[in-house]
Amino acid sequence: MEKYAQAAAEGAGLLPEKFQFLQAVGEAIPVRDASVDAVIGTLVLCSVGDVDQTLKEVKRVLKPGGLYLFVEHVAAEEGTFLRLLQNVLDPLQQAVSDGCHLTRFTGKNISHAGFSDLRLSTAFLTNAPLINSHVYGIASK
């Protein structure tokens, strides 16, 4: 995704010397404590090894008052046909989609991560039937 982000940044008029790309895993973000204003995560927590550790890292790197903006797909409601399908396809999804889990309750992880303020909402996307049910919102440190 780096090449797309770089092209978008340059298209928005940001000079390349004003930003840098770091490659890392969510469980060990290579930046100092309380050093960033915002963390933006879009469809990331489905594929990390440890959701709770990743959220601890997000909180660690945020400055006081910093924001965590997120959009994540989550498991469908228990007892629905979609949830049954997600349960069946989850191992295959992990194998073919970079470790993406269909059955995580990421909204609960975010809710229990200890952010000082959390605004979390749910959305259902008609063009993404297998990964339907999304949570999105803003949390602050």
pLDDT at 40: 94
Please, what sign has the CA dihedral across residues 90, 44, 60, 70?
negative
What domains can be seen in the chain, in order of their start residue? Answer: 1-74+103-140 (3.40.50.150)
User: What pLDDT shows up at residue 18?
Assistant: 77
- Residues belonging to the chain: 141
Q: What is the pLDDT of residue 92?
A: 94
Helices (H) and strands (E) in the chain, counts: 4, 4
pLDDT of residue 72: 97
Residues of the chain with pLDDT under 70: none
Contact 9, 40 (CB under 8 A): no
- Could you report the per-residue pLDDT of 48-64, keeping only the tens digit for each? 999 999 999 999 999 99
Residue 119 is predicted with a pLDDT of: 97
Would you give the DSSP letter of residue 18?
Answer: G
Task: Write down the pLDDT at residue 19.
Answer: 76
- What pLDDT score was predicted for residue 105? 96
120: Cα within 13 Å, side-chain hemisphere: 21
Asked if 113 contacts 59 with a C-beta cutoff of 8 angstroms, the reply is yes
**Within 13 Å, how many C-alpha atoms sit on residue 38's CB side?**
7
The reported pTM is: 0.88
Q: What is the rounded CA–CA span in Å between residue 94 and residue 119?
A: 29
